[in-house]
Structure 1
Amino acid sequence: LPTSIRNLFSLEKLDLSFNKFSGEFPWSTGNFSSLKLLDLRSCSFWGKVPHSIGNFTRLQFLYLGLNNFSGDILGSIGNLRSLEVIHIANGTIELDVLLTCWKNLEVLGLSLNRLSVLTKATSNTTSQKIQYIGLRSCNLTKFPNFLENQSHLVVLDLSDNKIQGKVPKWLLDPNMHNLNALNLSHNLLTGFDQHPVLLPGNIGDLVTFDLSSNNLQGPLPVPPLGTVNYLASNNSLTGEIPSWICNLNILESLVLSHNNLSGLLPQCLGNFSDELSVLDLQRNNFFGTIPNTFIKESRLGVIDLSHNLFQGRIPRSLINCSKLEFLSLGNNQISDTFPSWLGTLPKLNVLILRSNIFYGVIEEPRTGCGFSKLRIIDLSNNRFTGKLPSKSFLCWNAMKIVNTSELRYLQDVLSSKGRMMTYKKIPDILAGIILSNNRFVGAIPASIANLKGLQLTFLEFFNVSDNYLTGPIPQGKQFATFDNTSFDGNSGLCGKPLSKGCESGEAATNEDHTEGSEESLFSGASDWKIILTGYAGGLVAGLVLGFNFSTGIIGWILEKLGTQRKATRRRRRRRD
């Protein structure tokens, strides 16, 4: 940045935010005395902020965050009594004295700082006009006292701290009626000082609550009717999902995974909100049948009910969820035949039915093709019988990407009053077929060789172990990297990579003669490190404010990896 900028003596607004400057900012005593707005966010400036910044007494808006400034950034900033907005995202700040000076403050953004002596300032000595407070990752251990009676608060972000104990009554006060975003996630909270727990907020506004990743106990807190995102995963919450959930008719995300919730699901769960896009109830103790109430107008893109105690059949009304991309019902007690009718869903990418009581033959499609967008299917640990569905493999066109120009990212983007978030962002270059531990018979279909067009693959996994398959394993580039674990437990199989050779006339003919640099669709266990790296790069979860969502795909991958390793160890012990 040229030093001549210091000569602009009458400058009132200087906004250089989100550029690629470098070096030190040309501070100079007195030359910016007319400034009302200074925005240097995300500019890569470095060096010390001089005490002379305290001479910019007309300054109302100060943004210094996302730079590499050092020193006592706020040493003289107490003189800036006209400040309405302050955003500083690094440094050590003793905030008590400063809060008593900024009587006009409306926005306080100090996330990612090392704050000290913060809890002594009271609401009687600080601004009563604050609407936004961002104190994420500030090493807080208590709720700051100055928050009490901040009745104008619209956004409060205290996530990623070390706040212990219970949520105080004053934070749940009905006077906090302007609040439309409360983020208390990733702390050490154990409960609430008030019962029943009624979360604050304005019925007429769009409201987001993130209570996830704490140690909260007891029943679910009751949100206001205007709630859009209700996030309470990774706690120790108990009880049922109450009937009040049926009144949240603009809810977009309901994430209650990894708790101790139980009981039957409310019958309204599939139709209480036309806006619901994410339903994540995995790893609880829900039982009974899944409500058969999903409506045609459904916007559901993600449904994860895995790791519960559900029984009965898959609800046929899921056919109405035309926007569904991710469906995980694994690790329940569902007893049903293969849901071939789900193949008509135009966007379904991930189908996980593992570890249930699915049974019967997987019928070949009579007309047309189903599951054309499918990239990951896990049917392991069930009771499927009959031959592998060779025609179905031909229909899975999403596993036949020919070149990198066709690659894109699947994502479910939600919008809440201008705030964008992405629940899951799944690279198109993921592919996996897991059919292990069933009762399939016959040969591995030659049609598997048609799934060969991928040039870049982060997950190429194929597992048919522990079935009753027979005959030669298809050979060629796709199968060259498989290890024995993909085929173990099928005494009738022969050919590479197994040590058992095929007899004459039995040799596989499924050679892959495709030229070029294409890699196989399925590789062995050695590629798990690649998928974990590749998937993490493609995963985006969270709101601008730092709201966190569960990552079902990552959990599924880790679970498969652990299962595979355990199975390998068991087989090795048997061989020994």
Structure 2
Amino acid sequence: MGLSSLCLAFASMFILSKLVLSRLVMADSLQSYTPPCHDDEIFALLQFKQSFVIHMSASRCEAAAHLKISSWKSNSNCCSWDGVECDEETRQVIGLDLSSSCLYGSINSNSTLFRLFHLESLNLAHNNFNFSQIPPTVRNFPKLRYLNLSYSNFSGQVPSEVSQLTKLSSLDLSYNEDMFSNEELLRSLAQNLTDLETLDLSSINISSTTLNTFANLSHLTSLVLAECGMFGKLPFSLGNLRHLIYLDLSMNEFNGQIPSSFANLTQLTYFSLGGNYINGIIPCSLGNLTQLTILRLYQNQLSGPIPSCLGNLGKLTVLDLDFNKFQGEIPESLLNVVRLKGLLLAYNTLSGTVEFLKLLKPLPNLKWVDLSGNNLDVITETRTMNASSIPRLEMLGLGSCNIRKFPNFLRYQDTLEFLNLSRNGIHGQVPKWMWNISRESLALLDISHNLLSGLDQPPVVLPWVDLAGLDLSFNRLSGPLSVPSSQYMKFYHISNNKITGEISPLICNARSLNSLDVSNNNLSGMLPRCLGNLSSLEVLSVGNNYFHGTLPHLCPTNGSDLMLIDVSRNQLQGKLPRSLANCLRLESLVLSSNKFDDVFPVWLGTLSELKVLAMRNSGFYGAIPRHQSNHDDGFPNLRILDLSQNNFTGQFAFEFILSGKSMRGIHLDGSKYMRAFELVAVESGPGGGYYEGFYFYEYSITLMNKGLQRYFQKIREDFMAIDLSSNRFEGKIPEFIGNLKGLRSLNVSSNILSGRIPPSLGNLTNLEALDLSHNNFLGEIPPSLLQLSFLQIFSVSYNNLKGQIPVGNQFSTFEVTSYEGNPGLCGVPLPKKCSRPEGVELPHSTAEEDGVELDWKFVAAGLVSGLVVGVVLADFVTTRFSVRFIEIVALLIRLMKRMRRPRS
């Protein structure tokens, strides 16, 4: 081939390659090209975007999710926007997913959202729509198949137009305000939306609805009605719901037994009846649900043995029977469920001996185990098994399992998230290797209520990087205090030990701290000033230590989450920081037994949530100023007030401080206790399950009556008490006191109060303790106090009272000490007898004493005539006056007998 031919060949090849390359580039370009969406839908989406603001406090807002609508630009193709889905052929918007996008604002019928007429899927979950109502223009989405508005702060009734969305296959309205106040609306929805496959109405009040309402939804595969206020017995049929795969009826008020007909739901993989009032036994027919992977029956009243037929559930991964009344031993058949990942049997009455490592051997997939709170004897050591070969656990609950030393196998566990060894009587030191277990994963550690005497080489800073809660309280631990380093720390409790030293400022590195309880130790020094920087702190309990100095500024001007402050029984001095008025959520303030030097903090009266104010023996003094403004009275929610053993003077401002609706006993729930906060630790669990750890910090207080201390470990919401004793209050107790109908304890002893005991005290029918001793009260003990049928403690000793002690009811139970120091009092139980008839004061002189002779026939005739007139009158007056008349007649007869006695 010549040179020219060779060149021609190369040229041809070059031209051909360029042609092929250009076609490939063109094809690739054509393939990546996205046709634009419609202009009217671009406008609608952009206008919808403009109607909201991005607010990071919107519910469950994810860190980067708000960037979705930030990518929406007017000069770009909306089909490429985050959260927008278009039909491939028509380029119309058919899907919109703005879940967890930090949207804050309201939606109304004029929203341009409802111009997206071709929507088939709409997800606005986990935003904040500011309690707006779902607009009726939702009917503009006739093609809608998927609608999710959960956790979005909608309120008001669901519009009836939702029932027109007949193509819906998935509807989630959960965790919004009441949306079905009209039961007929829910029935209409259930009748029309017959294509529904998944329905979630969790936390929406549908209490008047029965499960039969949903019987028409024959295509349902998932039904979630958790925390809906439903009640009554479970139906013995679920109708056409044979295709259910997921059924959650938890946290309602269902009662009765589990119907055996539930075994007909043979497709179920998830079944929860937790948090109800179900009783009886587990029917063995549930063993036929062979597809079941998760069974949750926790927090009911189920009893009897755990049925061995549950061992037939070969696909089961989670069995949750916590908080019931199951008895007997753990059935061996459960060891056949080799897929089991979660075995939760805590807080029943199970008995027997459990060799823990042998329990784990046939269950290699086990991750979550909780046997706490039973009557089990758990053996944690064995010579026949290698502890290093047991499964890596994520949750282990062995509280109250009669364990006497730290389980050695724990040193090989490096994936634990939750560990509970509380209430076991474990003695000795916390071993050094404990500081190394599960350093990267441990979130909750509870070894409280044991007999631990110390910490072996404790670190200055706790080593667990993700630790959210630590409870070492109620042991015998001594030595210095280790502080948490985890930014996720929620609660840190080491109360009731013998810990010494100071609280390091390093504790303020735990920015998420909710509760700090170091009370009842031997700690000293000053409270760290930085505690006021912990904006999430709700509980601060440092009582009964040796802290000195002034109280830090705990509540900055931008507010605080503090609900309980207890600094009692220390050596704190100086003035109360006025910044406490910024603690707008404060419910309990306990300052007792310190060395403050201040007047009464009347400025705390603006705290609308304050329930408990205790300042006993704390160095406060002076008169309490009376309210002088035109605003509402102060302390509107106050229920417990203890100002005893201070140096207060003047008249007490009853009407200002005690006028709140709580003191009048209005709208208070006696079935609940005062709690500062609720910590819920939610972790992802095996098989799609979860674990919820509820933690409450309950209020407590010590009150004085008749010189005796009474400790209240828990305080009911309707408990009210006032203690003004051992001050120099003067003046009278006003009749107003009778309005405080909720009062259970009143102590005003050891003051210089005067005047009569107000009869209105008889209106306080809930009163259990009344101490008026060591004052200057005069007059009689009001007979109205006989109405106090719950009175257990009573004292009026060392006053200037006179007359007869009331007879009957609770007054027959009080001893002499309740009345001593009143020379004018007489009657039981005092040795001094009353000289005149009970309840009547006779004239000073009688006819007999004046020497007047009486004609007894005339007197008798007069009495008989009076009796006849009295009987006639009795027909015209009430029974009460009739009885009174008979009493008067009886008195006259006794008087006549007295006058007829011969003179000596």
TM-score bracket for the superposition, by shorter chain length: 0.7 to 0.9
Matched, 1:421 2:681: no
Note if contact 1:206-1:417 (Cα within 8 Å) is conserved in structure 2: no
Match of 1:433 among 713, 718, 722: 722
Task: Provide, for residues 230-269 of structure 1, a one-character-per-residue CA deviation record: whole Å limited to 9, x for no partner.
Answer: 1111111111111212222221101111111112111222
Say if 1:523 and 1:388 are closer, same or farther in 2 by CA, change over 3 A: farther
Q: Which residue number in structure 2 is paired with residue 471 of structure 1?
A: 755
Match of 1:73 among 330, 345, 365: 330
Note if contact 1:483-1:497 (Cα within 8 Å) is conserved in structure 2: no
Match of 2:492 among 230, 244, 248: 230
SS of the equivalent of 1:343 reads: helix
Matched, 1:362 2:628: no
TM-score of the two chains, using structure 1 as the length reference: 0.78
Give the Cα separation in 2 of the matches to 1:403 and 1:25.
39
TM-score of the two chains, using structure 2 as the length reference: 0.51
CA positional deviation for 1:80: 3.1
Q: Which residue number in structure 2 is paired with residue 399 of structure 1?
A: 663
Task: Provide, for residues 487-518 of structure 1, a one-character-per-residue CA deviation record: whole Å limited to 9, x for no partner.
Answer: 2212x32023399xxxxxxxxxxx99xxxxxx
Match of 1:110 among 371, 387, 391: 371
Give the Cα separation in 2 of the matches to 1:171 and 1:185.
15
Worse-superposed segment, 334-343 or 142-151: 142-151
Give the Cα separation in 1 of the matches to 2:292 and 2:260.
17
Matched, 1:286 2:570: no
Give the Cα separation in 2 of the matches to 1:293 and 1:171.
34
Q: Which residue identity lines up with residue 398 of structure 1 in the other structure? A: S
Q: Which residue number in structure 2 is paired with residue 209 of structure 1?
A: 470
SS of the equivalent of 1:245 reads: helix
Give the Cα separation in 2 of the matches to 1:405 and 1:100.
49
Give the Cα separation in 2 of the matches to 1:47 and 1:218.
47
Q: Which residue number in structure 1 is paired with residue 215 of structure 2?
A: none
Give the Cα separation in 2 of the matches to 1:52 and 1:395.
61
Q: Which residue number in structure 2 is paired with residue 525 of structure 1?
A: 793
Matched, 1:132 2:395: yes
Note if contact 1:255-1:281 (Cα within 8 Å) is conserved in structure 2: yes
Worse-superposed segment, 19-28 or 345-354: 19-28
Note if contact 1:136-1:158 (Cα within 8 Å) is conserved in structure 2: yes
**Within-5 A mapping of 1:13-52:** 15-18=272-275, 21-27=278-284, 35-42=292-299, 44-49=301-306
Note if contact 2:270-2:295 (Cα within 8 Å) is conserved in structure 1: yes
**Within-5 A mapping of 1:264-283:** 264-269=526-531, 271-283=532-544
Note if contact 1:432-1:522 (Cα within 8 Å) is conserved in structure 2: no
Task: Provide, for residues 3-22 of structure 1, a one-character-per-residue CA deviation record: whole Å limited to 9, x for no partner.
Answer: 57678887655555455555
Matched, 1:381 2:645: yes
SS of the equivalent of 1:146 reads: helix
Matched, 1:497 2:781: yes
Matched, 1:119 2:381: yes
Give the Cα separation in 1 of the matches to 2:283 and 2:326.
13
Q: Which residue identity lines up with residue 432 of structure 2 in the other structure? A: K
Q: Which residue number in structure 2 is paired with residue 59 of structure 1?
A: 316
Match of 1:486 among 764, 767, 771: 771
Q: Which residue identity lines up with residue 414 of structure 1 in the other structure? A: E
CA positional deviation for 1:413: 2.9
SS of the equivalent of 1:189 reads: strand
Give the Cα separation in 1 of the matches to 2:260 and 2:423.
39
Match of 1:190 among 447, 453, 460: 453
Give the Cα separation in 1 of the matches to 2:307 and 2:770.
64
Worse-superposed segment, 68-77 or 168-177: 68-77
Give the Cα separation in 1 of the matches to 2:358 and 2:658.
69
Q: Which residue identity lines up with residue 752 of structure 2 in the other structure? A: Y
Note if contact 2:635-2:657 (Cα within 8 Å) is conserved in structure 1: no
Task: Provide, for residues 408-437 of structure 1, a one-character-per-residue CA deviation record: whole Å limited to 9, x for no partner.
Answer: 976433345455433237544322221111
CA positional deviation for 1:216: 1.1
Task: Provide, for residues 521-544 of structure 1, a one-character-per-residue CA deviation record: whole Å limited to 9, x for no partner.
Answer: 9966269xxxxxxxxxxxxxxxxx
Say if 1:104 and 1:472 are closer, same or farther in 2 by CA, change over 3 A: same
Worse-superposed segment, 384-393 or 340-349: 384-393
Q: Which residue identity lines up with residue 772 of structure 2 in the other structure? A: F
Q: Which residue number in structure 1 is paired with residue 858 of structure 2?
A: none
Give the Cα separation in 1 of the matches to 2:649 and 2:396.
58
Match of 2:339 among 69, 73, 82: 82
Give the Cα separation in 2 of the matches to 1:485 and 1:15.
50
SS of the equivalent of 1:257 reads: coil
Give the Cα separation in 2 of the matches to 1:370 and 1:68.
47
Note if contact 1:149-1:170 (Cα within 8 Å) is conserved in structure 2: no
Q: Which residue number in structure 1 is paired with residue 351 of structure 2?
A: 91
More contact order relative to length (CA 8 Å, sep ≥ 6): 1
Say if 1:72 and 1:247 are closer, same or farther in 2 by CA, change over 3 A: closer
Worse-superposed segment, 397-406 or 432-441: 397-406
SS of the equivalent of 2:595 reads: coil
Say if 1:240 and 1:571 are closer, same or farther in 2 by CA, change over 3 A: farther
CA positional deviation for 1:38: 4.1
Task: Provide, for residues 263-316 of structure 1, a one-character-per-residue CA deviation record: whole Å limited to 9, x for no partner.
Answer: 2111222x1200001111111111222123531221111001111111212122
Say if 1:355 and 1:84 are closer, same or farther in 2 by CA, change over 3 A: same
SS of the equivalent of 1:97 reads: helix
Task: Provide, for residues 443-499 of structure 1, a one-character-per-residue CA deviation record: whole Å limited to 9, x for no partner.
Answer: 3334434x34x2xx4x52222211122222222353788899722212x32023399
SS of the equivalent of 1:342 reads: helix
Say if 1:78 and 1:375 are closer, same or farther in 2 by CA, change over 3 A: closer
Say if 1:469 and 1:244 are closer, same or farther in 2 by CA, change over 3 A: same
Higher alpha-carbon Rg:
2
Q: Which residue identity lines up with residue 648 of structure 2 in the other structure? A: F
How many pairs align?
Answer: 510
Note if contact 1:466-1:489 (Cα within 8 Å) is conserved in structure 2: yes
Equivalent pairs: percent with the same residue?
A: 38
Note if contact 2:735-2:760 (Cα within 8 Å) is conserved in structure 1: no
Give the Cα separation in 2 of the matches to 1:467 and 1:96.
66
Q: Which residue number in structure 2 is paired with residue 326 of structure 1?
A: 588
Matched, 1:412 2:671: no
Give the Cα separation in 2 of the matches to 1:260 and 1:521.
44
Give the Cα separation in 2 of the matches to 1:7 and 1:484.
59
Give the Cα separation in 2 of the matches to 1:570 and 1:225.
59
Matched, 1:246 2:514: no
Note if contact 2:555-2:580 (Cα within 8 Å) is conserved in structure 1: yes
Q: Which residue identity lines up with residue 537 of structure 2 in the other structure? A: L
Q: Which residue number in structure 1 is paired with residue 361 of structure 2?
A: 100
In angstroms, what is the RMSD of aligned CA positions?
3.8
**Within-5 A mapping of 1:530-549:** none
CA positional deviation for 1:328: 0.7
Task: Provide, for residues 330-361 of structure 1, a one-character-per-residue CA deviation record: whole Å limited to 9, x for no partner.
Answer: 11111211111111222112111111221111
Q: Which residue number in structure 1 is paired with residue 209 of structure 2?
A: none
Q: Which residue identity lines up with residue 637 of structure 2 in the other structure? A: K
Say if 1:483 and 1:323 are closer, same or farther in 2 by CA, change over 3 A: closer
Q: Which residue number in structure 2 is paired with residue 177 of structure 1?
A: 440
Unaligned runs of 5+ in 1: 500-510, 513-518, 528-564
Q: Which residue number in structure 2 is paired with residue 156 of structure 1?
A: 419
